[in-house]
């Protein structure tokens, strides 16, 4: 259900709020000792639960930041532009400043299509699907793309782009861009979860290393995302570089890492940076990668993961996505 998924988002906010309540409880002088102890025990248990969820996303100075030969380097930028945002010049300035090899732009429209075309000289390879809703998608690349498919997976009306990227050294990397629907009132989370499970199964197939990027509308510590990682053998660079929220760029307290770049173990991440805002409610994020095996282990598949994934995908045939 949507509300169950939404409760997973604000783990950091829960931890901060619980810490404040614990401080207030410690200063409250009129409570009976037994009641104070019981309340403190419950609050500490809740704080510990959220701390365990967040602990893997503390920065790790010993992380996977190995050197990389220039011809094996590539970078991916993800930018949810926000449908009604018209600050294209600011985004183009960021793209030209950081010079990514691939740009995945989400919530794009015909208006954004015209403005992103200004990058065609630097990024001549592209694929797009304009939906007229919040799920338009553009992939622009300075590196050659081949076998590109723009598809609508698992019966949802949210597109995905799958392509093979050829690096200067001749190595190939598969790229999968997704943007599933968010969980919110009146909208089942089954469709979003099905897209994530489908992506994990796609990543698990034999072939070149794969990079999965997009606004997942899910946080890394959510069970569905953890299952995605186990099924696809995907490594999350935030377990090295930290929490790094990308949403909401207009709010000081809603801070969630929704925009993600995950990868299989044939690829190493050498850097991750959340970039400045450009009028969207999401900050763009850039990940620097290298085509060489990582020293970071991927999560191991658990019994029942594949059955659960297939059941979630099958359930989408009983859920009709709302029109937007």
Cα–chain center distance at 311:
23
- The per-residue pLDDT for range 152-188, each reduced to its tens digit, is 999 888 999 999 999 999 999 999 999 999 876 666 7
Contact 239, 276 (CB under 8 A): no
189 band by pLDDT with thresholds 50, 70 and 90: confident
Q: How many CA atoms lie within 13 A of 81 on its CB side?
A: 32
According to the model, what pLDDT value does residue 5 have? 52
Q: At residue 69, does pLDDT exceed 70? A: yes
The answer to whether the predicted template modeling score (pTM) of the entire model surpasses 0.85 is yes
According to the model, what pLDDT value does residue 201 have? 96
Segment 107-127 mean pLDDT: 97
CA-nearest of 54, 44, 43, 59 to 8 is 54
Segment 188-192 mean pLDDT: 86
- CA–CA distance, 273 with 283 (Å, rounded to integer): 10
Please state, in angstroms and as integers, the Cα–Cα distance from residue 88 to each residue in 108, 114, 279, 281, 282, following that order.
11, 10, 9, 14, 14
320 band by pLDDT with thresholds 50, 70 and 90: very low
Q: At residue 310, does pLDDT exceed 90? A: yes
- CA–CA distance, 86 with 275 (Å, rounded to integer): 18
Q: What is the 3-state secondary structure (H, E, C) of the chain?
A: CHHHHHCCCCHHHHHHHHHHHHHHHHHCCCCCHHHHHHHHHHHHHHHHHHHHHHHHHCCCCCCCCCCCCHHHEEEEEEEECCCCCCCHHHHHHHHHHHCCCEEEEECCCHHHHHHHHHHCCCCCEEEEECCCCCCCEEEEECCCEEEEEEECHHHCCCCEEEEEEECCCCCEEEEEEECCCCCECCECCHHHHHHHHHHHHHHHCCCCCEEEEEECCCCCCCHHHHHHHHHHCCECCHHHHCCCCCECCCCCCCCECCEEEEECCCCEEEEEEECCCCCCCECCEEEEEECCCCCCCCCCCCCCHHHHHHHHHHHHHHCCCCCC
High-pLDDT (> 70) share of the chain, %: 92
Q: At residue 232, does pLDDT exceed 80? A: yes
Q: At residue 3, does pLDDT exceed 60? A: no
- CA–CA distance, 106 with 213 (Å, rounded to integer): 11
Q: At residue 71, does pLDDT exceed 50? A: yes
Handedness of CA 179, 77, 6, 83 (dihedral sign): negative
Contact 285, 210 (CB under 8 A): no
Q: Is the bond into 217 cis (omega within 30 degrees of 0)?
A: no
Q: At residue 11, does pLDDT exceed 90? A: no
Contact 317, 157 (CB under 8 A): no
Q: At residue 319, does pLDDT exceed 50? A: no
Segment 4-16 mean pLDDT: 73
- 140: left (phi > 0), else alpha (psi -120 to 50), else beta? beta
- CA–CA distance, 171 with 67 (Å, rounded to integer): 17
């Amino acid at each position: 259900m949507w509300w169950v998924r939404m409760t997973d988002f604000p783990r950091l906010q829960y931890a901060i709020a619980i810490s404040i309540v614990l401080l207030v409880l410690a200063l409250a002088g009129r409570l009976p000792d037994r009641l104070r102890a019981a309340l403190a025990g419950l609050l500490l248990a809740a704080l510990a639960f959220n701390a365990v969820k967040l602990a893997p996303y503390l920065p790790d100075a010993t992380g996977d930041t190995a050197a990389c030969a220039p011809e094996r380097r590539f970078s991916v930028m993800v930018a949810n532009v926000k449908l009604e945002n018209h600050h294209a010049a600011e985004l183009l300035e960021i793209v030209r400043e950081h010079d990514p090899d691939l740009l995945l732009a989400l919530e794009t429209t015909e208006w954004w299509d015209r403005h992103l075309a200004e990058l065609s000289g630097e990024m001549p390879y592209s694929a797009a699907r304009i939906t007229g809703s919040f799920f338009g998608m553009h992939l622009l690349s300075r590196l050659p793309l081949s076998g590109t498919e723009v598809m609508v997976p698992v019966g949802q009306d949210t597109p995905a782009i799958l392509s093979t990227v050829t690096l200067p050294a001749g190595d190939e990397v598969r790229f999968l861009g997704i943007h599933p629907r968010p969980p919110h009132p009146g909208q089942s989370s089954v469709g979003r979860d099905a897209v994530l499970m489908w992506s994990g199964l796609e990543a698990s197939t034999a072939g070149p290393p794969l990079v999965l990027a997009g606004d997942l509308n899910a946080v890394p510590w959510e069970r569905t995302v953890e299952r995605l990682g186990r099924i696809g053998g995907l490594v999350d660079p935030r377990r090295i570089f930290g929490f790094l929220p990308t949403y909401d760029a207009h709010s000081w307290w809603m801070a969630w890492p929704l925009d993600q770049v995950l990868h299989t173990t044939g690829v190493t991440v050498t850097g991750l940076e959340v970039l400045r805002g450009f009028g969207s409610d999401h900050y763009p994020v850039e990940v620097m990668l290298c085509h060489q095996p990582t020293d970071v282990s991927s999560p191991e598949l658990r019994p029942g993961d594949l059955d659960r994934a297939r059941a979630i995908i099958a359930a989408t045939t009983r859920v009709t996505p709302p029109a937007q």
